[in-house]
């Protein structure tokens, strides 16, 4: 009988997952989605304007020339944007018009406008691209959008003034930072219900999850800390200090 050996994959700096951007192999579902070698990388910028003069567009930057090649009309007061894992669609919540614009990245044109809750702010798309979760800052809910139909299929009550959202790599759970209740809501994406509420620091803003799905990191603006959550137990296992009003946070990988 032929012997089979198990091989352990090492990170490959020339292979990056199109879903999460990390070196292969990653923990995405489906896994190992390589970026095609002839990709044209684009950057999408929300133009929110000023409080007195809000704007309503997304600017598209071609990274090959570092120039704006298109502007996409969206709702009023766009603050965040999320791109689907396959790169074909963009989702933009509009804080002042209470909707989400869906745009086609091939044509840079809107294809749908979806009514959500009050003052939508954060947005995240599930790793398999089937769901978009939108944090409604003004009514303490998360809207669940079916990306196949671009309709809201559920509205989930969470903490006060939800902001940042992140999915676990397997898409089973979503973590929502609630700014005014100083906690994180954990949503089971199969049932669209909150299964845990985790106390963190003061005024949590954004959340990010490691590619292996073991830990979540949450920025706490008002006490200058980052909370570290164990995904398996949904408890804070560490609090990191030394920041000054931390807001945005993302994970990164150094490939060896």
Domain ranges of the chain: 36-157, 160-251
Q: CB of 174 within 8 A of CB of 189?
A: yes
Give the per-residue pLDDT at 26: 53
pLDDT digits (tens, 9 = 90+) for 120-172: 999 999 999 999 999 999 999 999 999 999 999 999 999 999 999 999 999 99
- Give domain 160-251's CATH number out of 3.30.300.30, 1.10.287.1080, 3.30.420.10, 2.40.128.630: 2.40.128.630
Q: Cα angle vertex 78, ends 74, 80, to 5°?
A: 115
User: Of 195 and 41, which is predicted with more confidence?
Assistant: 195
Q: What is the mean pLDDT of residues 78-106?
A: 95
Say whether pLDDT at 203 is over 90.
Answer: yes
Give the per-residue pLDDT at 256: 53
Q: What is the mean pLDDT of residues 15-31?
A: 51
CATH number belonging to domain 36-157: 2.130.10.10
pTM as predicted: 0.86
Please give the Cα distance from 130 to 170 (Å, whole number): 12
Say whether pLDDT at 28 is over 80.
Answer: no
Beta-strand runs (E) in 158-253: 162-167, 173-178, 183-188, 193-199, 204-209, 215-220, 225-230, 235-241
Average pLDDT value for the chain: 87
Give the per-residue pLDDT at 4: 27
Give the per-residue pLDDT at 3: 32
pLDDT tier for residue 5 given thresholds of 50, 70 and 90: very low
């Amino acid at each position: 009988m032929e012997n089979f050996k198990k091989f352990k994959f090492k990170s490959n700096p020339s292979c990056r997952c199109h879903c999460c951007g990390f070196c292969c192999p990653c923990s995405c579902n489906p896994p190992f989605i390589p970026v095609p070698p002839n990709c044209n990388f684009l950057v999408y910028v929300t133009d929110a304007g000023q409080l007195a003069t809000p704007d309503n567009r997304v600017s598209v930057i071609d990274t090959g020339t570092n120039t704006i090649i298109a502007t996409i009309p969206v709702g009023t007061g766009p603050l965040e944007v999320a791109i689907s894992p396959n790169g074909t669609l963009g989702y933009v919540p509009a804080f002042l018009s209470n909707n989400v614009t869906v745009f086609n990245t091939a044509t840079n044109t809107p294809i749908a406008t979806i009514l959500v809750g009050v003052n939508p702010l954060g947005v995240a798309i599930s790793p398999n691209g089937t769901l978009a979760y939108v944090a409604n800052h003004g009514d303490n809910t998360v809207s669940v959008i079916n990306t196949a139909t671009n309709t809201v299929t559920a509205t989930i009550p969470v903490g006060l003034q939800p902001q940042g959202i992140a999915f676990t790599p397997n898409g089973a759970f979503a973590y929502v930072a609630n700014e005014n209740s100083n906690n994180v809501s954990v949503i089971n994406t199969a049932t669209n219900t909150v299964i845990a509420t985790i106390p963190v620091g003061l005024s949590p803003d954004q959340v990010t999850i490691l590619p292996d799905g073991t830990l979540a990191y949450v920025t706490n603006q008002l006490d200058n800390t980052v909370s570290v959550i164990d995904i398996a137990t949904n408890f804070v296992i560490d609090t990191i200090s030394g920041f000054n009003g931390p807001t945005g946070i993302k994970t990164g990988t150094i490939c060896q």
